[in-house]
Structure 1
Amino acid sequence: MERLQKVIAHAGIASRRKAEQLIIEGHVKVNGKTVKELGVKVSSSDRVEVSGIPLEQEEPVYFLLYKPRGVISSVQDDKGRKVVTDYLQHIEQRIYPIGRLDYDTSGLLLLTNDGEFANQLMHPKSEVEKVYIAKVKGIPSREKMRSLERGIKLDDGMTAPARAKLISMDKKKQTAIIELTIHEGRNRQVRRMFEAIGHPVMKLKRERYGFLNLHGLKAGEARELTTHEVKQLRVLAQKK
């Protein structure tokens, strides 16, 4: 079930804000009844009409993007900065990112127009692993690495148990490369975890999302997910 204005926007009829206006003004019908409330949710089996014209659902599409640094994980930016959909302008469907990567974070990002699929992957109970490679200031002690794995107390609560691995260190420059595997998706979580142990992130990249990786892609390149990959992700998201 998705909000009516979101369904209208995804069908390419209008922006979400314009879709809300169409609903309020009485131009939208669901199963033959005029709807003027913005809180209404519909499913794929509901018949939606806008100004008397039946809504055609877009064919669902799924993409994997190697997001470069300095790009916003959004479909538009009021400051005119580059957004992730700029790299998929040839796609006719109105796609959007599943979750987000920070402006300064690069790596694997999924995009789709399938709201149900996106919600499954972003649900708090979904335990799809995300693997990050972080370059941090200083060289964390074994105890600090263990604290990452046990869970870090952040301002929005304890993080779930994670896996942390020291990949390399530069004693002269006092920096370290660490692989961190988490399954949560809190805002700036990885950066905040490292800040909490006194080793702020200098550079961050998401290397893997579940079984998916960036092999064969350069920053700014994307590929469509296979049907099998989409099915596998659904299975992963449903595991508790």
Structure 2
Amino acid sequence: MEPPKKSGPRHRPRSGAQKPGDGRARTGPRSPRPAPGKPRPAAPHAANPHPARAAASAGGKAEPQRIAKLLARAGVASRREIERMIAEGRIALNGEAVATPATLLASLHGVTVDGVPVNQPAPTRLFLFHKPSGFLTTERDPKGRPTIYDKLPADLPRVMPIGRLDMTTEGLLLLTTDGEFKRQMELPATGVPRTYRARAFGEVSQNQLEDLFEGIEIDGIRYGQIEANLERRTGRNQWIEMTLTEGKNREVRRVLEHLGLQVNRLIRTSYGPFHLGELASGAVEEVRQHDLILFRKSLKGTKG
């Protein structure tokens, strides 16, 4: 089967818009999604050495906070990665190794990462990346398999993926410079919807898919509300669109396999109000600051 065509807006949902995959009009009920605005293609990024594997700039805030949180907010790494770096003695304060990620600081003045001073942080940035199949969503792989960082442009700042896509899953992957924003987006309580299109072999009815709206338990794991629609069939293959908010590990594949289907292609088409649209495979586009600010204000549990 030929790869499905991609069409439609990248950042905002639109009633009746065509979906990446088959050029057909959207069918079935749709849940409302917040729209932060009408993003435009980003201006060219400032050139940097490939920062995905390099130290990032950082900074501090007026009120004392844990050093792990400050460094994550600055984009150095995720909190978990920073905790590992502290355990390895790679982070120091005024020349002495930091003993615990719970160390309280009002700023990152005097903090170094691998001997490199940490500077004032830049504003949070968010990028849309069309992840191709065949790449791991990780910085490096012990087995030497290709990762998304082998595919990203060299002029990006240091970025971290928000959530993960399996090696064989393609489509929209959000990348950010802000470790705290990454953490907030990944929390199930934040409730950001993700939409996928799956091509699966086997037989399933719309009624079976609609039952997923009540959630389902598989092998002791409870999966929450899923909105699923059968789009079209081609022989014994069918395209199914699924929207969920938890994003548990391999959730789409496990749910469909539980229904007796074999997933042979999986594409994430949107994450919150940000859409894959016509973004080419392997391409990156930045979200405008105005739209990012509006979106962050719309998140559950976000102040102001």
Task: Please tell me the TM-score bracket, short chain as reference.
Answer: 0.7 to 0.9
Q: Could you give the per-residue CA deviations for residues 87-131 of structure 1, whole angstroms, max 9, x where no partner exists?
A: 324235321211100001001001112011111101120111111
Unaligned runs of 5+ residues in structure 1 are: none
Pair 97,46 (structure 1): closer, same or farther in 2 beyond 3 Å: same
Assess if the C-alpha contact under 8 Å between 1:11 and 1:57 holds in 2. Answer: no
Q: Tell me, in whole angstroms, the C-alpha distance in 1 between the residues paired with 2:95 and 2:144.
A: 40
Query: How far off its partner does 1:137 sit?
Result: 1.3
SS class of match (1:3): helix
List aligned pairs for 1:72-111, cutoff 5 A: 72-91=136-155, 93-111=157-175
Counterpart residue number, 1:229: 291
SS class of match (2:151): helix
TM-score, normalization by structure 1: 0.82
Matched residue pairs, number? 231
SS class of match (1:64): strand
- The residue identity in structure 2 corresponding to 1:22 is G
Query: How far off its partner does 1:154 sit?
Result: 2.2
| Structure with the higher helix share, 1 or 2 | 1
User: Which segment is superposed worse, 193-202 or 227-236?
Assistant: 227-236
| Structure with the higher strand share, 1 or 2 | 1
User: Which segment is superposed worse, 70-79 or 148-157?
Assistant: 148-157
Query: How far off its partner does 1:50 sit?
Result: 2.6
SS class of match (1:90): coil
Q: Tell me, in whole angstroms, the C-alpha distance in 2 between the residues paired with 1:141 and 1:8.
A: 45
Assess if the C-alpha contact under 8 Å between 1:127 and 1:239 holds in 2. Answer: no
Counterpart residue number, 2:263: 201
Q: Tell me, in whole angstroms, the C-alpha distance in 2 between the residues paired with 1:207 and 1:89.
A: 21
Assess if the C-alpha contact under 8 Å between 1:127 and 1:236 holds in 2. Answer: no
% identical equivalent positions: 31
Q: Tell me, in whole angstroms, the C-alpha distance in 2 between the residues paired with 1:237 and 1:151.
A: 23
RMSD after superposition: 3.1
Assess if the C-alpha contact under 8 Å between 2:160 and 2:182 holds in 1. Answer: no
Unaligned runs of 5+ residues in structure 2 are: 1-65
Correspondent of 1:135 among 199, 207, 216: 199
Q: Could you give the per-residue CA deviations for residues 62-88 of structure 1, whole angstroms, max 9, x where no partner exists?
A: 211000011111121222222112232
Query: How far off its partner does 1:61 sit?
Result: 2.8
Counterpart residue number, 2:209: 145
TM-score, normalization by structure 2: 0.66
Pair 8,136 (structure 1): closer, same or farther in 2 beyond 3 Å: closer
- The residue identity in structure 2 corresponding to 1:56 is N
Pair 154,47 (structure 1): closer, same or farther in 2 beyond 3 Å: farther
List aligned pairs for 1:162-173, cutoff 5 A: 162-170=226-234, 173=235
Query: How far off its partner does 1:18 sit?
Result: 5.8
- The residue identity in structure 2 corresponding to 1:169 is R
Q: Is 1:55 equivalent to 2:122 in the alignment?
A: no
Assess if the C-alpha contact under 8 Å between 1:128 and 1:236 holds in 2. Answer: no
- The residue identity in structure 2 corresponding to 1:194 is L
- The residue identity in structure 2 corresponding to 1:63 is F
Assess if the C-alpha contact under 8 Å between 1:5 and 1:19 holds in 2. Answer: no
Assess if the C-alpha contact under 8 Å between 1:97 and 1:110 holds in 2. Answer: yes
Q: Is 1:3 equivalent to 2:65 in the alignment?
A: no
Pair 42,91 (structure 1): closer, same or farther in 2 beyond 3 Å: farther
Counterpart residue number, 2:34: none
Counterpart residue number, 2:13: none
